[in-house]
Amino acid sequence: MDYKLLIALLIPLIGTLGVMFKGDNENIREGISSVSSILLLLVVGSMIPAVLHGKTLVLHLFTILPGVSVTLRADAMSMIFALVSSSLWTIAVFYSMGYMRGLNEHAQTRFNACFALAIFGAIGVAFSDNLFTMYLFYEIVSICTYPLVGHHQDAEGYNGARKYIIYLTTTAKAFLLPAMILIYVLTGTLDFASNIHDGIFPAGINGTLVIMLYIFCIFGFAKNGVMPFHHWLPGAMVAPTPVSALLHAVAVVKVGVFCTTRTMLYTFGTDTMHAFNLGIPTAYFVSFTILAASIIALSKDNLKARLAYSTVSQLSYIILGAALLTDPGIQGGLIHIVNHAFSKITLFFCAGAIYVATHKKQISEMDGLGKTMPWTFGAFGVASLSMIGAPPVAGFITKWNLLIGSVEAHQIGILLILIASTLLNAAYFAPITYRAFFGKRPEGEPFTGIKEAPLAMLIPILIACTISVLLGIFPDFMLQFVKAVTG
């Protein structure tokens, strides 16, 4: 039994309590958040050597039914998401200080407490040893992020939050819960397999049932943003930018795609998916989301809305990679959990910095701003290259592996879709940076008073951006975990 798993789970929970009790003193409150995030990163980091040596850390908490328990487990796939969640929480805490104070936002104690609780849920999902534990923490993330989406407490905020909670909890109850019950009835367990090949279904099982359960699981984890259950995600853009960054890079959408791919690989397994031809149809199904969301992103002038539809599109790369059922494809999908996280949080951080510095949300209003905010728009440009898949930024590693995976799977159609989506990525990202640096300010709108956002925001932006580049130049560290999954 490894109690590091429990400690990792308790740190954000204790941090939440500390924030709530010391909410009247903003320095102590944010100090608690900062210390908690650093401690979590250190505890998660301490598990790296054991996992890289092939060990699986397990901590059984309690049993509900035979084969149904709340159990924690750290293996190679767990560590991918746990490292992303813990490291980005550290960066996001410092950014949030600058943003929330810069705009003198209300209810900052509630904001910080819910932020920490969301990370608690994300870490629980990362370290889940079975479908039941994962479902439990999946729902915790939905509930804890609801107040964050509706933070502004205006009509727009309430509508966005209502759509958010209805979509996510309804799909989980309508699809995921029945699927989980039926999987338990058919197999007698909800535990994940020990590798990505075997799955948990016995030989000779009814194929129609397996296909139905598979579809239910894909739609049940609606945080993955797969169309048609994606509308909650753009609607959640009414939240403050640190929340948008949290939603899109760490605690919500990544929970969705992590749960989806974890279930695909460790509940169904590649052998079962091959046997019932589940992989390639899934790849083509999510390809529609990749292309359609990119086309919608092109039409959006609001920066956060464009980034939101970009997220809808990019998430499906992760599912597509796993669905290819080839080692490079799976590796490309899983490494995108990391690569997209650091690049997309950079982009949302930049959007927040632009808003704090200029109070502008529309891309058409940002002409020439790169001259007075070069660091912010420079970081935005670099992170955009990662989303497009250009070297040497992290996204190139994703696209390279996905392209090889599609060739190995003999799917030229998927190859063409990946190329088309890359061109669409460039079409909706490149003009933003171009307008910022080469556009002219509108008549009567001088640069007077416009400058970079506070250092508390700018430093996290540059850190996240630098990590995106380093993940592209030195991908081997994170690829160790990814290769251990497929190995």
At residue 375, the pLDDT reads 94
Q: What is the dihedral of CA 17, 21, 24, 28, to 10 degrees?
A: -60
What's the CA gap between 110 and 117, in Å, rounded?
10
At residue 441, the pLDDT reads 78
Confirm if 310 and 351 have CB atoms less than 8 A apart.
no
CA 213 to chain centroid, in Å, comes to: 24
Which tokens hold the place of 77? Answer: 């796939």
At residue 408, the pLDDT reads 94
pLDDT (tens digit, 9 = 90+) per residue, 212-246?
999 999 998 888 878 887 777 776 666 666 666 76
- The reply to whether omega before 392 is within 30° of 0 (cis) is yes
How would you write the pLDDT of the chain (487 residues) with one tens digit per residue? Answer: 688 999 999 999 998 888 888 767 777 877 888 899 899 999 999 999 999 998 999 999 989 888 889 999 999 999 999 999 899 888 888 887 776 766 666 666 777 788 888 889 999 999 999 999 999 999 888 888 878 777 666 677 777 777 778 887 888 888 989 999 999 999 989 999 989 988 898 888 888 999 999 999 999 888 887 888 777 777 666 666 666 676 666 677 788 899 999 999 999 999 999 999 999 999 999 999 999 999 999 999 989 889 989 988 999 999 999 999 999 999 999 999 999 999 999 998 899 889 888 888 889 888 888 888 999 999 999 999 999 999 899 999 999 999 999 999 999 999 999 999 999 999 999 999 999 998 887 776 666 667 888 888 899 999 999 999 999 999 999 999 999 988 7
At residue 469, the pLDDT reads 95
- The reply to whether omega before 234 is within 30° of 0 (cis) is no
CB contact burial 39-67 (16+ within 10 A = b; e otherwise): bbbebbeebbeebeeeeebebeeeeeeee
At residue 107, the pLDDT reads 67
What's the CA gap between 295 and 300, in Å, rounded?
9
At residue 1, the pLDDT reads 60
At residue 289, the pLDDT reads 92
For 487, what's the count of Cα atoms within 13 Å in the CB-facing half-sphere? 13
At residue 227, the pLDDT reads 84
pTM above 0.85, yes or no: yes
- SS in 3 state form for the chain? CCCHHHHHHHHHHHHHHHHHHCCCCHHHHHHHHHHHHHHHHHHHHHCHHHHHCCCCEEEEEEEEECCEEEEEEECHHHHHHHHHHHHHHHHHHHHHHHHHHHCCCCCHHHHHHHHHHHHHHHHHHHCECEHHHHHHHHHHHHHHHHHHHCCCCCHHHHHHHHHHHHHHHHHHHHHHHHHHHHHHHHHCCCECCCCCCCCCCCCCCCHHHHHHHHHHHHHHCHHHCCCCCCCHHHHHHHCCHHHHHHHHHHCCHHHHHHHHHHHHHHHHHHHHHHHCCCHHHHHHHHHHHHHHHHHHHHCCCEHHHHHHHHHHHHHHHHHHHHHCCCHHHHHHHHHHHHHHHHHHHHHHHHHHHHHHHHCCCEHHHCCCHHHCCHHHHHHHHHHHHHHHCCCCCCHHHHHHHHHHHHHHCCCHHHHHHHHHHHHHHHHHHHHHHHHHHHCCCCCCCCCCCCCCCCHHHHHHHHHHHHHHHHHHHCCHHHHHHHHHHHC
